[in-house]
Amino acid sequence: MIPSVLPTYSRAPLNFVKGEGSWLVEADGRRFLDLGAGIAVNALGHAHPKLVDAITTQAQNLWHVSNLYEIPQQQALADILVDNTFADTVFFTNSGTESCELAVKMARKYFFDQGEPERVEIITFDGSFHGRSSAGIAAAGSEKMTKGFGPLLPGFVHLTFGDLDGVTNAITDKTAAILIEPVQGEGGIRVVPDADLKALRDICDSAGILLILDEVQCGVGRTGKLFAHEWAGITPDIMMVAKGIGGGFPLGAVLATERAASGMTAGTHGSTYGGNPLGCAVGCAVLNEVAQPRFLAEVSRKSSLMRQKLEGLVAAHPDVFEEVRGAGLMLGLKCVAPNVDVVNAGYAAQVITVPAADNVIRLLPALNLTDDDINEAFTRLDTAATQVETA
Ligand SMILES: *Cc1c(COP(=O)(O)O)cnc(C)c1O
């Protein structure tokens, strides 16, 4: 008999009933150190007082009004994003997938309005992940995600990750945009080098096409800058955001320049929930913390501390781990042992990590985890690795 919850997930037998900072409490009382943060979602950890306050205050006043009306919280969040990024304008969604949908529509509509309706193709890369909608799976293109789901949304050209020559050769008069994650998350914490991001920006400029960045996982302070592309000193034309921006409330956004967004006039796109008062009140509270230079500097400091300890862990357990990769607090351990064995050993040691492709485990902790949390993380990861070795 089919379970009452559609069985699309393979779940660990863990029932968390409470969260506090970087800690999750299981129904049986065990405390787990959370280095997954709901897959880079709980940017400020669990039950952060300022987020609890923001959502409680807003909930007592007004949860939801339609986008038929003005929404001051949405305006405030858009202003914060515009003030702190390349963007001139923002659309709010409820998820990364929806942000992907709009990014694709926006790029195509831009060229349509420029009198180039045949410019619909978007170049993407293997190992990428852009969500589970028809556009998202077509963008990623992997057999794992697309097989059995009927005709794919056309207009995506898939290239090998890191193949810049391939990009230049793939651009035709049908190409509208390049879509890339500055740091691949699901693909195994694969960082696009700054020089490659710069080169992609140049390729887009000389071909007159748009650069779309998917910062759903690597954005919102995760790498130690508010958005990951800032490290490369470039800006995109369109950027997808979600995960961390809501700190656990389902919230996403598409940020764009005025030019790239110029086709998206009244009536061309919409969302019932996207940008509602509850979500945007929380989003403002998240960004008021994360966008502070002091906060971002702390992310970089903790990243160095973690990396240093991770290098030690890899050196101490060469039969379990191969290398450390990533940026900021978006870190990966490439495993020698099967990554799911390491994740499961982590559960036994009461530390949460997240598997990714390429036999990697991801460490995506709350951005405000403490130095004590970091020390505890290594005690527990060391226990987990020892268990894998002796299994
Ligand atoms: C998680 C993710 C998405 C999809 O976001 P959802 O909120 O699950 O729809 C898209 N792109 C990237 C890079 C992601 O990590």
Whether 293 shows a pLDDT value over 90: the answer reads yes
Q: Which atom of ligand 1 is nearest to the CA of 218?
A: 13
User: Does position 272 have pLDDT exceeding 90, yes or no?
Assistant: yes
> Which sequence spans correspond to the domains of the chain?
16-34+293-390, 50-290
Going by pLDDT thresholds of 50, 70 and 90, the confidence category of residue 82 is: very high
Quote the tokens at residue 203: 């390729």
- Per-residue confidence (pLDDT) for residue 87, from 0 to 100: 98
Dist. CA 89–CA 44, nearest whole Å: 25
pLDDT at 201 over 90: yes
- Establish whether residue 93 lines the binding site of ligand 1, counting it when its CB lies within 6 angstroms of any ligand atom: no
Residue 95 has pLDDT above 90, yes or no: yes
Asked if residue 326 has its Cβ within 6 Å of ligand 1, the reply is no
The answer to whether the CB of 96 falls within 8 A of the CB of 251 is no
Q: What is the 3-state secondary structure (H, E, C) of the chain?
A: CCCCCCCCCCCCCCCEEEEEECEEEECCCCEEEECCHHHHCCCCCECCHHHHHHHHHHHHHCCCCCCCCCCHHHHHHHHHHHHHCCCCEEEEECCHHHHHHHHHHHHHHHHHHCCCCCCCEEEEECCCCCCCCHHHHHHHCCHHHHCCCCCCCCCEEEECCCCHHHHHHHCCCCEEEEEECCEECCCCCEECCHHHHHHHHHHHHHHCCEEEEECCCCCCCCCCCCCHHHHHCCCCCEEEECHHHHECECCEEEEECCCCCCCCCCCCCCCCCCCCHHHHHHHHHHHHHHCCHHHHHHHHHHHHHHHHHHHHHHHHCCCCEEEEEEECCEEEEEECCCHHHHHHHHHHCCEECEEECCCEEEECCCCCCCHHHHHHHHHHHHHHHHHHHHC
Question: What pTM does this model have?
Answer: 0.98
Q: Given phi > 0 = left and psi -120 to 50 = alpha, else beta, which region is 4?
A: alpha
Centroid of ligand 1 to alpha carbon of 153 (angstroms)? 18
Evaluate: CB of 131 within 6 angstroms of ligand 1: yes
Q: What is the pLDDT of residue 61?
A: 98
Cα 359 to ligand 1 centroid, rounded to whole Å: 19
pLDDT at res. 138: 98
Q: For 350-371, what is the mean pLDDT?
A: 98
Asked, colleague to colleague, whether 16-34+293-390 and 50-290 share their fold, the answer is no
How confident is residue 248, by pLDDT bands cut at 50, 70 and 90? very high
Say how many Å lie between the CA of residue 308 and the centre of ligand 1.
29
List binding-site positions.
96-97, 129, 132, 214-217, 271-272
Q: Which CATH architecture has domain 16-34+293-390?
A: Alpha-Beta Complex (3.90)
Q: Which atom of ligand 1 is nearest to the CA of 133?
A: 9
Binding site residue list for pyridoxal 5'-phosphate: 96-97, 129, 214-217, 272
pLDDT of residue 54: 98
Please state which CATH class domain 50-290 belongs to: alpha beta
Q: Is the pLDDT of residue 391 over 90?
A: no
Work out the average pLDDT over 98-108.
98
Radius of gyration over every alpha carbon of the chain, rounded to an integer in angstroms = 21
CA distance 350 to 341: 14
Strands 175-180 and 156-159, bridge-based pairing? unpaired
Strand order in the sheet with 31-34: 16-20, 23-26, 31-34, 351-352
